Amino acid sequence: MADKVNNRSVFFNPFAKDNPVVVQVLGICSVLAVTAKLEPAMVMGLSVTVVLAFSNVIISLIRKTIPVNIRIIVQLVVVAGLVVIVNETLKAFAYDVSKQLSVFIGLIITNCILMGRLEAFAMANKPWPSFLDGVGNGIGYTIVLAITGFVRELLGSGTLWGFQVVPQSWYDAGYVNNGLMILPPMALIVVACIIWAQRHFNPDMQEK
Amino acid sequence: MNKQSSIYTIVYIVVLAGVVGAVLAMTSMGLRSRQQANIDADKMRQILSAIRIVPENGMIAQDFDKYVTRQIVVNEKGDSIGNDAFGIDMATESKVAAAERRLPLYVCDVDGARKYVVPVYGAGLWGPIWGYVALDSDGSTIYGAYFAHEGETPGLGAEIEKPAFSDQFRGKELWKHGEFYPVNVLKKGTKPTAGEDYVDAVSGGTITSKGVAAMLDSGLTPYKAYLQSLTAK
């Protein structure tokens, strides 16, 4: 099986056709939590990509030695270790962002995408394809986070990346930020709209 | 070798835990000094922000030394018991009974005027909230305030960290008719019962706002004796 894996499709499929969030519907929890603003959403996406890529490689390297009955525990230990390292690194080099993300970095451990990829891919494939798979899925996740964060921050706060983009004259003319956008349920609705648009333009993906 | 045997499994998990533990310990040790520097700089920035000073990048420590002229630690009776205010961890100190609490105080000099910065610490909806309240030399008028939180809801409770909320505190009085009333935080349209000064709560952030009111109450009241000595001067 390992030889038949096509590196190209392993890397690019998760962007759209096999996107972890909008097709496999994994990792929805963190999409709700961190997409009220664009910047934390992007840092979260980057952190997940790093943790996913390296945990995939590590698990792939030791996949033949792992006793089957404790494989989930082994995966969790590796993921948890990497998450702590990412969290500590952010605290040392990007303190402001780590303050914004606070508990959500720690919660990467419970992100379903990680366990999903480790179980489904890294346990059965060589390190290099596993690395590509991790990076690909991480980027696929980040894309959805970025779109959701963009829409929610623009409509909910009138800013992008913290900068005011809706001009003051609009507010003077009666424009009001949509407060509903900053609440978690709107993340689900935005993600649902992305899924809708994607299925609309790819009829072959529609379930019968 | 049988990879499914109990011995192999136990040895495997022990070795794995040891390796991961060692890597984490190394990371933590390697980054600690940098993290502590960030945490200290952030704390200095928050204190400066209460006296309305926004330091430029990389100037936090210099500005802190420039504006904060003296640090003192007082007790509930108002007596000075030390001078390492910065080293006091408010999270642990706020759990101590008020009578035994060490109360840090930063004496600042802003363009010739003396200000006193009092740190406060309390609980919001999801986690801790904290802040710094700067008082004029009369020990009553609030010169500025800064609030922060760990994980309040973005757009709702988290709004307490915005200037729109904290700027409301400017000019409020802690002493009213000879009585000590920490500033209250009330829902828009309601009036305080005892005639104390108050600010508007954050809409949609009721529990966080109540947390701020409770924090000011429990955080400022122990300073009563010390502040009274300032008022009397």
- A81 with A158, same domain? no
B9: nearest Cα among A67, A58, A18 = A67
- A73 with A116, same domain? yes
Residue A208, domain member (yes or no): no
Residue A56, domain member (yes or no): yes
Max mean pLDDT among A154-158, B20-24, B148-152, B179-183 falls in B20-24
Residue A123 has pLDDT above 50, yes or no: yes
Of B4, B39, B155, the CB nearest to A36: B155
Measure the CA–CA gap between B101 and A82, rounded to whole angstroms: 39
B120 within 8 A of B219, measured Cβ to Cβ: yes
Q: Tell me the HSE value of B153 on the side-chain side, using a 13 A CA sphere.
A: 19
Of A67, A95, A157, the CB nearest to B3: A67
- A131 with A53, same domain? yes
Mean of pLDDT over chain B: 89
A163 touching B (Cβ < 8 Å): no
DSSP state of A27: S
Complex ipTM over 0.90: no
Residue A206, domain member (yes or no): no
Contact A93 B34 (CB under 8 A): yes
Residue A80, domain member (yes or no): yes
* Residues of A whose CB is below 8 A from B154: 36-37, 182
pLDDT at A21: 84
B168 within 8 A of B133, measured Cβ to Cβ: no
- How confident is the model over B32-37, as a mean pLDDT? 91
- Amino acid occupying residue B24: L
pLDDT in tens, A27-78: 888 888 888 888 888 988 999 999 999 999 999 999 999 998 888 999 999 9
pLDDT in tens, B43-97: 999 999 999 888 887 788 888 988 999 899 998 888 888 888 898 888 888 888 8
- Amino acid occupying residue B89: D
Report the 10 Å Cβ neighbour count for B57. Answer: 5
- A44 with A115, same domain? yes
Of B8, B13, B155, the CB nearest to A182: B155
Measure the CA–CA gap between A29 and A94, rounded to whole angstroms: 24
B92 touching A (Cβ < 8 Å): no
pLDDT at A102: 67
B25 touching A (Cβ < 8 Å): no
Query: For chain B, what percent of residues have pLDDT higher than 90?
Result: 44
Residue A1 has pLDDT above 50, yes or no: no
pLDDT at A171: 86
- A87 with A189, same domain? no
B168 within 8 A of B180, measured Cβ to Cβ: no
- Å from A121 to nearest chain B CA? 21
Domain spans in chain B, listed from the N-terminal domain onward: 49-232
Residue A34, domain member (yes or no): yes
**Chain B interface test: which of A74, A98, A180 (most B C-beta within 10 Å):** A74
- A134 with A98, same domain? yes
Residue A138, domain member (yes or no): yes
pLDDT at A193: 92
Residue A8, domain member (yes or no): no
pLDDT in tens, A174-199: 888 887 888 888 888 999 999 899 88
- A108 with A180, same domain? no
B42 touching A (Cβ < 8 Å): yes
Q: What is the pLDDT confidence band of residue A10, given thresholds at 50, 70 and 90?
A: confident
Residue A13, domain member (yes or no): no
- A126 with A40, same domain? yes
- A114 with A163, same domain? no
Helix (H), strand (E), coil (C) string for B34-98: HHHHHHHHHHHHHHHHHCCCCCCCCCHHHHHHHHEEEEEEECCCCCEEECCCCCCCHHHHCCCCH
Residue A130 has pLDDT above 70, yes or no: yes
**Chain B interface test: which of A98, A183, A186 (most B C-beta within 10 Å):** A183
- A87 with A134, same domain? yes
pLDDT in tens, B83-135: 888 988 888 888 888 888 899 999 999 888 899 999 999 999 989 999 999 99
Residue A161 has pLDDT above 90, yes or no: no
| CA closest to B21 among chain A residues | A81
Higher pLDDT, A101 or B174: B174
Residue A13 has pLDDT above 90, yes or no: no
Contact A67 B28 (CB under 8 A): no
A142: nearest Cα among A40, A36, A56, A24 = A40
What DSSP element (H or E) covers A89? helix A71-93
Q: What is the pLDDT confidence band of residue A2, given thresholds at 50, 70 and 90?
A: very low
Tokens of A146: 């970025």
| CA closest to B26 among chain A residues | A85
Largest CA distance in chain A: 66
At residue B109's C-alpha, the angle toward residues B103 and B110, to 5°, is 120
- A120 with A46, same domain? yes
- Å from B109 to nearest chain A CA? 28
* Residues of B whose CB is below 8 A from A157: 155
pLDDT at A4: 57
Measure the CA–CA gap between B118 and B103, rounded to whole angstroms: 8
Of A69, A81, A103, the CB nearest to B4: A69
- A33 with A134, same domain? yes
Query: For chain A, what percent of residues have pLDDT higher than 90?
Result: 35
Helix axes B6-50, A71-93, angle to 10 degrees: 20
Count how many domains chain A has: 2
Of A88, A95, A157, the CB nearest to B42: A95
Its domain, for residue A128, covers 19-142
Query: For chain A, what percent of residues have pLDDT higher than 70?
Result: 97
A155 touching B (Cβ < 8 Å): no
pLDDT at B119: 94
